[in-house]
Amino acid sequence: MTHKPRVVVGLSGGVDSAVSAYLLKEQGFEVIGVFMKNWEDDDDSEYCASNIDFLDAASVADVLGIEIEHVNFAAEYKDRVFAEFLREYQGGRTPNPDILCNAEIKFKAFLDHAMRLGAEKIATGHYARVREVDGQFQLLKGLDASKDQSYFLHRLNQAQLAKTLFPVGELEKTEVRRIADAIGLPNAKKKDSTGICFIGERPFREFLNRYIANAPGPIKNELGQRIGEHVGLSFYTLGQRQGLGIGGLKAKGQVRGGGEHTPWFVARKDLAANTLFVVQGHDHPWLLSGKLVADNLSWCAGSAPSEASYGAKTRYRQADAGCAFTTSASMMQLSFTEPQWAVTPGQSAVLYDGEVCLGGGIIASAETSVSNQALG
């Protein structure tokens, strides 16, 4: 009897991981499902769908005829992901916990657990691909450009990529749903999850309020005039236009003929003065950056790529922006061909060479075309 290689699939309760498990079974693998529980502070709240997701994952396993195991990674998640998330917010930055979750939980704690189960590989429902070239493993964008998730996976290393399969990375999302429907999966029409993994659909400010003390302070315009009050710098991110409480205000000396209906955007946080600076107009110079510096670098190949021109994303779902890449031991600088909008410290800058995701780092600072030292 031929040996069937064992693959452990992270079954989230969603359609992508469900179809991934089906495709692997069709390809002749021995498939085991694992549902990861990463958060348990408020399981019973209306926003936390963990229990529903597990029931969906168990139903999928039943239809596919595979085993499913429920594994609790909440302690690891709190230590490795959530604590860092809070530290970053308290430092005035805007982190991306889904990236940290992938590096620390899904492709570390889960991978270790799968190896203990005798797996040769793990699989998830991410829209990305892995390719082996001359013994090196490359992370590629998913074929469905509108769903590509390589941005969230850019911190994976060679050891992790060597053990990982992304079965739906070769498919369009519409095809994934068609397969799910055709084989009678109970979650074929389940909507995609949105929001940060542990926050789900809940109001973000309300959630953060439970963990971070708010220190109100002034909101000022670019001239240094006080035009409102913020509820705490942690609760705002660069480029934000909702929830500022200053709609309809007309500032003196307003540029570009903007009337009172020109929206306000968060442009800068001054932590020392506990002041939030806002500007009017989406394309205000304070919101446009020609250069950024990033640290906490991670490269898929294990070492930095050569200094050259590449594409980069400074946020998920944006088109690759052309840039010149330079690096030192622990930092990288990207100089963009076109200024980038609302480049946000704490978010990730991810580098691409065509369809190959090279890795990236955490944005430390961005340089705007105007020195944004507003008047105090």
* Cα 354–Cα 110–Cα 108 angle in degrees, nearest 5: 60
Angle subtended by helix axes 15-26 and 50-64, to nearest 10: 20
**Sheet with strand 30-37: strands edge to edge:** 67-72, 30-37, 6-10, 121-123, 164-165
| Multiple choice CATH, 286-368, 2.40.30.10, 3.30.930.10, 2.60.40.10, 3.40.50.10490 | 2.40.30.10
**125-154 average pLDDT score:** 97
Can you give the pLDDT at residue 278? 97
Can you give the pLDDT at residue 187? 85
Can you give the pLDDT at residue 189? 82
Q: pLDDT per residue over 72-83, tens digit each?
A: 999 999 999 999
Q: Does residue 41 have a pLDDT over 80?
A: no
Can you give the pLDDT at residue 336? 98
Q: Does residue 53 have a pLDDT over 90?
A: no
Give the domain ranges of the chain: 6-182, 216-282, 286-368
**73-98 average pLDDT score:** 91
Distance CA 197, CA 212 (A): 19
Percentage with pLDDT > 90 across the chain: 74
Can you give the pLDDT at residue 17? 95
6-182 CATH: 3.40.50.620
Q: pLDDT per residue over 188-245, tens digit each?
A: 888 877 666 666 666 777 888 888 888 999 999 999 999 999 999 999 999 999 889 8
Catalytic annotation, residues: 101, 197
Buried b (16+ CB within 10 A) or exposed e, 238-249: bbbeeebebeeb
DSSP 3-state helix, strand, coil percentages of the chain (rounded to 5)? 25, 30, 45
Can you give the pLDDT at residue 47? 54
Q: pLDDT per residue over 340-354, tens digit each?
A: 999 999 999 999 999
Radius of gyration in angstroms for the set of CA atoms belonging to the chain, rounded to a whole number: 22
Q: Does residue 152 have a pLDDT over 80?
A: yes
Region label for 246, one of left (φ > 0), alpha (ψ between -120 and 50) or beta (otherwise)? alpha
Q: pLDDT per residue over 251-310, tens digit each?
A: 455 554 445 578 999 999 999 999 999 999 999 999 999 999 999 999 999 999 999 999
Can you give the pLDDT at residue 1? 53
Taking alpha carbons only, the member of 149, 105, 97, 138 closest to residue 302 is 138
Can you give the pLDDT at residue 259? 52
Distance CA 139, CA 163 (A): 12
Q: What is the mean pLDDT of the chain?
A: 90
Can you give the pLDDT at residue 319? 95
216-282 CATH: 2.30.30.280
Location of structure tokens 């369009």: 172
Can you give the pLDDT at residue 202? 66
